[in-house]
Each structure stands twice: as C-alpha cells, then as structure tokens.
C-alpha cells in the first residue's frame, strides 16, 4: 500500500514505465510476424501487465484516501 505522496509519485512513475514496456511489446509487429509462437510466449509471460494492474489499483486506492480526507 502506498503510504505517502512520495510513494504515490514513484508508483505513478513505475506504472508509466510498465505501460510503455507493454506498448512496445505489443507493437513489435516484425517479431510477431517472424516468430509468432515466441512472440505469444513473451506476451503470455509478460509480468509487466500484471504488475501494472497492481500499481494502478494501489494508485487509485491512495487517491481515494486522499480525496476523502
């Protein structure tokens, strides 16, 4: 759980980096065309997607706490 504004800012930065990594992985059309099985394996094992979901949840939770105080 995010405890303060500094952690919130850092978590938002990490979420942004994970979003960029996910975009780059999904946009790699040449890899998808040349090695569809390998590309799919990378997609299926992509931890950045799962980590991003956790970070976004934490950010939203902290923002709700901040808004209600």
Decide which of 46 and 63 is more confident: 63
The pTM for the full model equals: 0.62
Q: What percent of the chain has pLDDT over 90?
A: 9
pLDDT at residue 68 tops 80? yes
- Span 17-33, pLDDT tens digits: 888 887 887 788 888 89
C-beta of residue 8 within 8 angstroms of C-beta of residue 62: yes
Q: Which residues 6+ apart lie within 8 Å of 61 measured at CB?
A: 1, 2
Three-state helix/strand/coil letters over the chain: CCCCHHHHHHHHHHHHHHHHHHHHHHHCHHHHHHCHHHHHHHHHCCHHHHHHHHHHHHHHHHHHHHHHC
């Amino acid at each position: 759980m995010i405890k303060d504004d500094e952690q919130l800012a850092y978590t938002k930065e990490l979420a942004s980096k994970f979003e960029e990594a996910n975009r780059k992985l999904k946009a790699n059309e040449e890899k998808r065309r040349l090695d569809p099985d390998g590309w799919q394996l990378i997609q299926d094992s992509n931890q950045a997607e799962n980590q991003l979901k956790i970070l976004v949840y934490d950010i939203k939770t902290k923002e709700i706490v901040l808004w209600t105080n």
